[in-house]
Amino acid sequence: MRVLGIEGTAWCASAALYDSEADTVSIESDAYQPESGGIDPSEAAEHMRSAIPAVVERALEHADGELDAVAFSRGPGLGPCLRIVGTAARALAQALNVPLVGVNHMVAHLEIGRHRSGFDAPVCLNASGANAHVLAYRNGRYRVLGETMDTGVGNALDKFTRHVGWSHPGGPKVEEHAERGEYVPLPYVVKGMDFSFSGIMSAAKQEVDSGTPVEDVCRGLEETIFAMLTEVAERALSLTGRDELVLGGGVGQNARLRGMLREMCEARGAEFFAPEPRFLRDNAGMIAVLGAKMADAGDTLEIEDSAVDSDFRPDQVPVTWRAPDPPPVRDGETVRGAEATVTFDDGTVTKARIPKQYRHSDLDARLRRDRTVLEARLTSEARRHGVPTPLVRDVDLPEATIEFQRVGDSDLRDAVDEAGVRAVGRHLATIHDAGFVHGDPTTRNVRVTQSDADDRVFLIDFGLGYYTDDVEDHAMDCHVFEQSLVGTADDPESLALAFEDAYRAAGDDAVLDQLRTIEGRGRYQAGAN
């Protein structure tokens, strides 16, 4: 099958020819380069208008025979750019009388990694200019397990580099300067598998303005942001029981990020793959490859139903072109989580936060120490407020190790039901009323006992918790739990309703109102540049 792909979501006009029989991809691109500042949507659209015909013509020169389909990036992206690309794709498909395929740009980033690696069921970390999220396939869709709560990772770096007077794109310039810098501590913001970059950027700007060498701030940015992304990726592997990770997005060209992810995967016995740079930055090759898979599955569009969608989320795409996932890898008597290794001995659980070699040593020591203290303290405090948690038997702070009473028969992930999620709703409402959050209440961090004599639901792993009376923080706790349902349960929607019903009965309605606001933030951020 020969498929022409056309890409133009934001700043890069690109066309590619994919031959599935030979598995060859020829890409022609023309990137928009603003003279100063970030991407101006009107200028980007004007660039698309002039560049798309030329890159399409060059790509077609690689065709050794007739085309079988035309694929285009349907979204997410800048509306004016997407409409130009959509118009070009429709006109070409009609002129050649071939099927038209509308591709989600972010799913294409994931699928090109899966295609090039040969992996069956990877978790995908997308780190691009306008987005940052972690995805995994379940029940016919790619589910968003975690994402940025404010701006995309590339856009965040661009905002910093504009502050210091550097031109777009900023990521490569941060990488270049970081190689000469010394680490500077910056805020580290991970909430379950979600993350935020705005506070880090503000702190980085303040550091530069106060006289800290820009090379040192760049080093701090890389060490902090990429450690956050790596931790979230490992958390997703642990939650889903997968042992394959692929990287997507233009920020994935950064050598430090790829190195961190590779080191993390090696440490936990997982496989890692990053496509070559031409498939990481915005490109039509990934559009053509996924377009061919979709066309082969009959997933094509009628012209009248091919409107673009600037807010097209990856979890809105029915995945028609791939088989179901193989069974996930489950833990034995030694559990390797995202933060620690857990071992079992009779009725005792020993949790050791071993050093993470991918993180800067200063950052790693701070996180291991602070999280060990908080976990021991908040586990006991939750218990004092009537929430079932394991007893804390011993804490070794220098070694970042805690010994707990062993509780439950299994993780809620492996025995999820309505009664369990309702109990979690009540427990979270209780600790929120007491003035703190769990921080990472996933189905992996809830233990359940199922027997006639004792049917209890325990909260464990309070290492990301903290004291707060802020409704936003309480709502984020709920958001993290519901995202974990999406990634691990067969019927997440009805379970989320049961969870919220129980939370509402025991807690504050304002928290669930704020939860709706949080859910609306996880959208394409191209305009934030």
Nearest residue to 337 (alpha-carbon basis) of 231, 258, 494, 221: 231
The one-character DSSP state at 66 is -
The one-character DSSP state at 445 is G
| Res 526: pLDDT | 40
Burial class (CB in 10 A: 0-12, 13-18, 19+), 1: middle
Neighbouring residues of 485: CB distance < 8 A, sequence distance ≥ 6:
416, 421, 443, 492, 495, 496, 499
Are the C-beta atoms of residues 284 and 27 closer than 8 Å to each other?
Answer: yes
- Token digits for 181? 């810098």
- Token digits for 107? 């799913």
Neighbouring residues of 249: CB distance < 8 A, sequence distance ≥ 6:
109, 126, 127, 128, 129, 131, 132, 153, 154, 280
- Helix residue ranges, H only, 16-78: 41-60
Is position 243 annotated as part of the catalytic site? no
Beta bridge partners of 458: 447
Nearest residue to 283 (alpha-carbon basis) of 4, 1, 2, 6: 6
- Strands 244-248 and 132-138, by their bridges, are unpaired
| Res 336: pLDDT | 72
| Three-state secondary structure call for residue 455 | coil
- Strands 194-195 and 132-138, by their bridges, are unpaired
| Res 455: pLDDT | 64
Which tens digit of pLDDT belongs to each residue from 11-28?
Answer: 899 999 999 999 999 999
Neighbouring residues of 204: CB distance < 8 A, sequence distance ≥ 6:
160, 186, 217, 220, 221
Residue that the structure tokens 């394991």 belong to: 390
Q: What b/e readout covers 20-32, taking b as 16+ CB neighbours within 10 angstroms?
A: beeeebbbbbbeb
Are the C-beta atoms of residues 126 and 132 closer than 8 Å to each other?
Answer: yes
Superfamily of domain 113-276+325-329: ATPase, nucleotide binding domain (3.30.420.40)
Has residue 386 got a pLDDT over 90?
A: yes
Q: Which carries the bigger pLDDT value, residue 503 or residue 41? A: 503
Q: What is the mean pLDDT of residues 264-277?
A: 95
Neighbouring residues of 98: CB distance < 8 A, sequence distance ≥ 6:
67, 68, 69, 70
Residue type (1 letter), 448: V
Domain 334-519 part of CATH 1.20.1250.20: no
Hey, which bits of 400-512 come out as E strands? 401-405, 410-411, 436-437, 446-448, 457-459, 466-467
Please provide the DSSP assignment of 211-256 as one string. T--HHHHHHHHHHHHHHHHHHHHHHHHHHHT--EEEEESGGGG-HH
2-111+279-316 and 113-276+325-329: identical CATH topology: yes
Other beta carbons within 10 Å of 520: 7
Q: Which sequence spans correspond to the domains of the chain?
A: 2-111+279-316, 113-276+325-329, 334-519
Distance CA 105, CA 167 (A): 25
Of residues 19, 194, 282, 440, which has the active-site annotation? Answer: 440
Query: Measured in whole angstroms, how far is the alpha carbon of residue 418 from the centre of its chain?
Result: 27
Taking the model in full, what pTM does it have? 0.91
Question: If pLDDT is split at 50, 70 and 90, which confidence band does 527 have?
Answer: very low
Which tens digit of pLDDT belongs to each residue from 165-202?
Answer: 998 788 999 999 999 999 999 999 999 999 999 999 99
Based on its alpha-carbon atoms, the radius of gyration of the chain, rounded to whole angstroms, reads 24
Distance CA 17, CA 361 (A): 45
Question: If pLDDT is split at 50, 70 and 90, which confidence band does 43 have?
Answer: confident
Percent of the chain at pLDDT exceeding 90? 82
Q: Which fold has domain 2-111+279-316?
A: Nucleotidyltransferase; domain 5 (3.30.420)
Distance CA 82, CA 78 (A): 6
Which tens digit of pLDDT belongs to each residue from 193-245?
Answer: 999 999 999 999 999 999 999 999 999 999 999 999 999 999 999 999 999 99
- Token digits for 19? 């031959």
Please provide the DSSP assignment of 107-126 as one string. HHHHHHHHHHH--SS-EEEE
Burial class (CB in 10 A: 0-12, 13-18, 19+), 165: exposed
In the sheet where 2-7 sits, what is the strand order? Answer: 24-31, 12-19, 2-7, 69-75, 100-104
Nearest residue to 246 (alpha-carbon basis) of 271, 266, 264: 271
Question: If pLDDT is split at 50, 70 and 90, which confidence band does 36 have?
Answer: low
Nearest residue to 154 (alpha-carbon basis) of 135, 133, 136, 138: 133
Which tens digit of pLDDT belongs to each residue from 459-496?
Answer: 999 999 999 999 999 999 999 999 999 999 989 999 99
Through-space distance between the first and last CA atoms of the chain, rounded to whole angstroms: 38
Which tens digit of pLDDT belongs to each residue from 424-438?
Answer: 999 999 999 999 999
| Res 524: pLDDT | 46
Has residue 528 got a pLDDT over 60?
A: no
| Res 132: pLDDT | 87
Are the C-beta atoms of residues 193 and 483 closer than 8 Å to each other?
Answer: yes
Which tens digit of pLDDT belongs to each residue from 63-122?
Answer: 988 999 999 999 999 999 999 999 999 999 999 999 999 999 999 999 999 999 999 899
**Host H or E run for residue 161:** helix 153-163
Residue type (1 letter), 17: L
Which tens digit of pLDDT belongs to each residue from 291-345?
Answer: 999 999 999 999 999 999 999 999 999 999 998 777 776 665 567 777 888 998 8
| Res 111: pLDDT | 95
Residue type (1 letter), 344: F
Burial class (CB in 10 A: 0-12, 13-18, 19+), 304: exposed
Distance CA 107, CA 140 (A): 13
The one-character DSSP state at 386 is T
Query: Measured in whole angstroms, how far is the alpha carbon of residue 359 from the centre of its chain?
Result: 19
